[in-house]
A = this chain, B = another copy of it.
Amino acid sequence: MDIRAQKTFEALFALEDVREMLRQSLPGSTGPTDMDGFNEQIRHIRSVIDDLEAGTGVPEITKIGGTLGIRSREEEYVNIQPIQAAGRLTPEARKALIAYGDGYSTCDSCRKPFRLDKISKPPIADFHQELAAFLNMDTARVVPGARRGFQAVTSSLVKPGDTVIVSSLAHYTEFLAVEGAGGVVKEVPLNENNIITADAVADRIEDVTAETGKLPALIMIDHFDYQLANEHDVSGIGKVARQYDIPFLYNGAYTVGVMPVDGKKIGADFIVGSGHKSMASPAPSGVLATTDEWADVVFRTTQMTGDLTNRKFGVKEVEMLGCTLMGSTLMAMIASFPTVKERTQKWDEELKKSNFLMDKLLEIEGSAVLSEYPRKHALSKVDTTGSFDVVAEKHKRRGFFFSDELTKRGIVGEFAGATRAWKLSTYGLSWEKINYLADSLQDIAEKYEIKVNRDKL
């Protein structure tokens, strides 16, 4: 590992050991019980800081708890992994993780009616309001991942045998959420540009209704899909949903937290977003937002009564199973939120970077962009069958030659060994890194005598 990254981790870890000494001490004591140990540890930290400053020294810690390697992917590399980019934590989120890591850390001031989204200290209740406003919806809850948002909606709206309209590019978690509720999925076909149109949704609704004698129970469509990150006509689909009076779940796993999302404008009944995918938050986290019309359905409170004790559980919500993210996961999400809100306003700049990189890739002869082009998203699927894969065909490392070359340049996150169709994301990379990435791809191409039409644009 880069020695400065190494020493940063060592200093952080050494400080956690100091923190543990404070935790073991009695309150009001003038210092840690083991003052000698404390002073020794301070001396150690100083020496780690010296190494960090100088960029020298040898690694002293390689495993956490003897088993877990230290992950330095973001410190050492340009990470183009397609789904990790927008889930990178902000420094504020990392600080929140540090301060709120303990299990029930959010619950110190939990008072009646004892529900996570009602807690005012830390400002969890305010965050829920802001989250709903951010999506222009009426109510929001945090959930352990977008999938748990899908599940809450299907479990509330879909009865066994009901049909749910999904995209031909729908994520597997949507299928699973429907399966859990006992429903049946019907996919909407893509048009010639690999886009889900409103007309195609309307047609599929007509087909299904004719076939089953019943309207679908739900429409669930991804704004940008996970395979190509193409933009689908969610606003048009919102209108179709209204016309047929079918509730519409907008899957914003690839949008909420990176670009502006206006639920009312889209005509969404439900918005689902992913914290660890697009909101600079730890896993598992996500958001489920809805309108006043549907809040009482999906966030219905328990009706159970203990038959012997007559116990009732008031405001606990069945689909949320009461409280959801009771600790650092939520606190990190809240800590990232100001940055997340701000960055959605800079989506145009992210698109410039995405398109710039695609253009540089297209300068490498034999390369193509499989996603819609120009790009409307930072995530793209590319095809290098006519460029890097030609090399791979004859290379003794096969497709891994490409991974080797990228790694050598400090670039990671491609699907190791893949040189035909593969995905990458430019999200959140600085222009400096984008340029570095573009140059690296072109350098690799030229090294293997693939023609590069540099600066053709």
Which residues of A come within 8 Å of B, CB atoms? 2, 4-5, 8-9, 11-13, 15-20, 22-24, 26-28, 30-33, 39, 42, 45-46, 49, 52-53, 55, 64-78, 81, 83-84, 86-89, 91-108, 121-123, 144-145, 147-148, 150-151, 155, 168, 170, 172-173, 175-180, 185-189, 275-277, 280-284, 302-304, 306-309, 313, 316, 318-319, 321-322, 324-332, 334-336, 338, 409-412, 430, 432-433, 436
Contacts and interface: CB of A to CB of B under 8 A. Distances in A.
Given A16-B94, A276-B327, A313 B49 contact: no
A454 to B, nearest CB: 20
Contacts of A436: 26-27
Given A304-B176, A316-B176, A321-B176, A100 B71 contact: yes
A282 B285 CA distance: 13
Given A276-B327, A281-B103, A329-B282, A96 B64 contact: yes
B187 A325 contact: no
Contacts of A318: 176, 179-180
Contacts of A282: 101-103, 327-329
B16 A4 contact: no
Contacts of A336: 65
Contact of A67 (B148, B179, B319, B334): B334
A19 B189 CA distance: 46
Copies in the complex: 2
Contacts of A107: 83-84
- A15, A104, A308: residue with the most chain B Cβ atoms closer than 10 Å: A15
A20 B339 CA distance: 14
Given A16-B98, A49-B49, A178-B304, A104 B122 contact: no
5 contacts: A5-B19, A9-B99, A103-B277, A185-B307, A186-B307
Contacts of A155: 180
- A71, A78, A155: residue with the most chain B Cβ atoms closer than 10 Å: A71
Nearest to A77: B27
A103 B91 contact: no
Contact of A309 (B72, B98, B187): B187
Contact of A101 (B2, B20, B97): B97
Contact of A175 (B78, B186, B284, B313): B313
A410 B26 contact: yes
- A64, A71, A188, A313: residue with the most chain B Cβ atoms closer than 10 Å: A64
A15 B4 CA distance: 11
Contacts of A66: 338
A95 B64 contact: yes
Given A70-B99, A176-B318, 7 more contacts: A8-B15, A12-B12, A12-B19, A84-B102, A103-B283, A185-B307, A284-B326
Contact of A148 (B8, B99, B321): B321
B8 A18 contact: yes
A8 B22 contact: yes
A433 B147 contact: no
A30 B55 contact: yes
A65 B94 CA distance: 11
A2 B280 CA distance: 31
Q: Which 9 A-B pairs have the closest CB atoms?
A: A87-B103, A27-B410, A103-B276, A283-B327, A144-B144, A65-B92, A283-B326, A187-B308, A147-B321
